[in-house]
Amino acid sequence: MVWRSAPSLLQALKLLEPSLLNISRKGRLLNGRLQQHVIVFNGLSKRTLHNTASLRVAKIMSLDEIFARKSLQDYLKQVEHEYNHCLNAVNTSELEEYPGEEEQRVKRTKVSLLRPVIQSITELRAKEKEMTETEVLLKDEDQSLRELAEQEREACLKDIKIFRQKILDLIIPEEDADLNDLVLEVTAGVGGQEAMLFTAEVFDMYQGFAHYHGWSFDILEYMSSDLGGLRRASASVSGGQCYKKMKFEAGVHRVQRVPKTEKQGRMHTSTMTVAVLPQPTEISFSINPKDLKIETKRASGAGGQHVNTTDSAVRIVHLPTGVVAECQQERSQIKNKEMAMKVLRAKLYSMKLEEETSKRYQQRKIQVGTKGRSEKIRTYNFSQDRITDHRIGMTVYDLKNFLLGEELLEEMNSSLQDFSNQEALLELLGEND
C-alpha cells in the first residue's frame, strides 16, 4: 500500500519545506509539465499525488508518450537511414572496387551493431500496421467479427508494447559497470549515536534487499558502536544486475525522528552516507603487485614459528594513488588480505570509471558516482511514516516495511531506474528538458 490520505495542507507544507528548499537550492527546474502532479509507473497506472500544490514531482513518461515524441521518431528514422546506407555500401562493394578497407570494416561493424534495433523497428512497424487494419474491423457490422477484432487489437497492443520496450532497451546506452558486482559502504554521518543506529537499520535494509533479489551479501567490514549502532560497514554484493539497481542508492540518507536516546521527546535529523562501488572483473582491471604495500601485525619481530598472534588484520596501501583498504573481518589473515584486495580494487576501479563517466552525468538529475556522494537523496520521516526520494520527488509510506528492503524499496528503486533511463534517452535524442 503506497498512498494514504494526506495530512492537512499547512502541515504538509511545513514538513515539505526542507525538501523544497533542497530542490530549489540546486537550481534545477523539474519538468514544466509537472504542475499536473501525475506519476506514472511503467506506463501502467496513473495515481494522483494529493498532498500540496507546491510539491514538484518528477514525471516518468509512459511508453506511449515517449513514442509519441517527434525526436524519438526522428532518431529511429536516422538509425534506419544509417543502417541502409551502410548495408548498401557493404553489398555493392562486392560488385565494385573497394573504396577503402578500413571504411568497409567500420561499415560492416555498424551493420551488425544496428541490426537488432532495425529488426525490432521493423517488427514494431509491422505490428502497428496490423493494428490499423484490425481497427477497421472494429467498426464492422458483424458482432462476432467485432469481438474477434477486439481480441486481436488487445494482442497487438501487447506486442507493440514489448517491441517498444525492446527498442528502448537497445538504444539507451548502458553503463559499462552495470553488469558488475559491487562493494557497498555505509558510514554514519551527522547525529552521533542516533546516526549510527540509523546506519545499522539502513545496512540491514540493504541486506534484505540483496536477499530479496537473490544476491549474495558478504560483510567485509562491520564497526559497531557502544549502543548497538553502526559506525561504518561494507559488504561485497554480487548477483544479477546488482550494480545497475544499487547505484541509485548512493548518497546521503536523512532520518527525522525522536531518537531512542532522546529524553525530552524532541525530533532530530541525522544522516548517513551510502557509497556503491562497482567491482571490476579480473580481466578488465589489474593492479601491479609492486604498487602495493601490505601491512600486517606480524611485521615486527621474527615472525613465523617464533610468535603466536591472533591479530590477523590486513591493511593494503596502493602507493601510486594512496588509496587504502583494510580488513579484520576474518580470523584467517590470507582471507582478510583477499577481502581487502576486493575493496581496494573496487575503490580504484571506481576512480577510473569516474573519469570516464563524469562528463556523461554532468547534466543529469540523478547523479551516480562521487558527485552524487554528498547529495541528500532521501528522507526517512518516522513521525509521518514516509520516505521521500528528492531526486524524483517520490514518496512512499510504511517505513517499517520499507526498511525490510523488499517490495517497497524495489518500487522506489525501479522508479529511479525508469527516470534515469528517461534522462539518458532524452540526452540521446538531443533534448535537454
Partner 1 sequence: MWRRRVLSEVFTFMGSCRNKKSQFIGASSSVRACSCPALPVHRITALQAVNSWSQHFQEKGVSEPDLSSRYITAHVLGAKTIEGIKAETLSRLLSPEKTQQIWKLCAKRLTGMPLQYVIEEWDFRDLTLKMRPPVFIPRPETEELVEFVLSDLKEKTGSLSILEVGCGSGAISLSLLKSLPWLRALVFDQSEDAITLTKTMLQLYHLDILKEEEAILSLCNGVQALVSNPPYLYTEDMASLQPEVLRYEDPAALDGGTDGLVVIRQVLNLASKVLQNHGRVYLEVDPRHPPLIQQWAESHREEMHYVETKLDFNNRPRFCILQKAETNKDRKQDLD
Using CB under 8 A as the criterion, which residues of the chain lie in contact with partner 1 when the complex forms? 196, 200, 204, 219, 221-230, 294, 296, 298-299, 302-312, 328-335, 337
Whole-number minimum distance, CB 264 to partner 1, in Å? 22
CB of 49 to partner 1, least distance (A): 35
What is the rounded distance in angstroms from the CA atom of residue 331 to the CA atom of residue 312? Answer: 6
Quick one: CA torsion of 339, 344, 349, 352, rounded to 10 degrees?
A: 180
C-beta of 222 vs 285, nearer to partner 1: 222
| DSSP string for residues in 326-353 | EE-SSSSHHHHHHHHHHHHHHHHHHHHH
Residue 104's CB is within 10 A of a number of other CB atoms, namely 15
Query: Quick one: 227 or 319, whose CB is closer to partner 1?
Result: 227
Give min distance, CB of 343 to partner 1, in A. Answer: 14
User: Which of 284/309 has CB closer to partner 1?
Assistant: 309
Q: How far is the CB of 193 from partner 1 (least distance, A)?
A: 11
Of 82 and 204, CB closest to partner 1 = 204
| End-to-end CA gap in the chain | 32
Residue 168 grid coordinates: 528502448
Which residue number, 66 or 200, has a Cβ lying nearer to partner 1? 200
Residue type, 87: L
Closest to partner 1 by CB, 168 vs 272, is 272
DSSP reduced 3-state for 24: helix
Instruction: State the minimum distance, in angstroms, from the CB of residue 219 to partner 1.
Output: 7
The CA-atom distances, in angstroms, between 267 and each of 43, 192, 262, 400 are 38, 14, 8, 18
Q: Other C-beta atoms within 10 Å of 247: how many?
A: 23
Residues with Cβ within 8 Å of 268's Cβ and at least 6 positions away in sequence, in order, are: 191, 194, 256, 257, 258, 259, 262
The residue (of 83 and 198) whose beta carbon lies closer to partner 1 is: 198
Pick from 220, 219, 216, 221: which is nearest to 237 by CA?
Answer: 216
Length of the chain: 433
Q: How far is the CB of 414 from partner 1 (least distance, A)?
A: 29
Least spacing, CB of residue 299 vs partner 1, in Å: 5
- Find out whether 345 and 279 touch, Cβ atoms under 8 Å: yes
> Which amino acid belongs to residue 214?
G
Q: Quick one: 16 or 230, whose CB is closer to partner 1? A: 230
Tell me how far, at minimum, the Cβ of 384 lies from partner 1, in Å: 25
Compare residues 309 and 363 and give the one whose CB is closer to partner 1: 309
Rounded to a whole number of angstroms, the minimum distance from the CB of residue 233 to partner 1 is: 9
Nearest to partner 1 of 221, 427 (CB atom): 221
Alpha carbon distance 80, 121 (integer Å): 9
Give me the least distance between CB of 197 and partner 1, in Å please: 8
Residue of 170, 153, 155, 71 lying closest to 113 (CA atoms) = 170
Cβ(88)–Cβ(131) below 8 Å: no
Give the whole-angstrom CA distance, residue 335 versus residue 332: 5
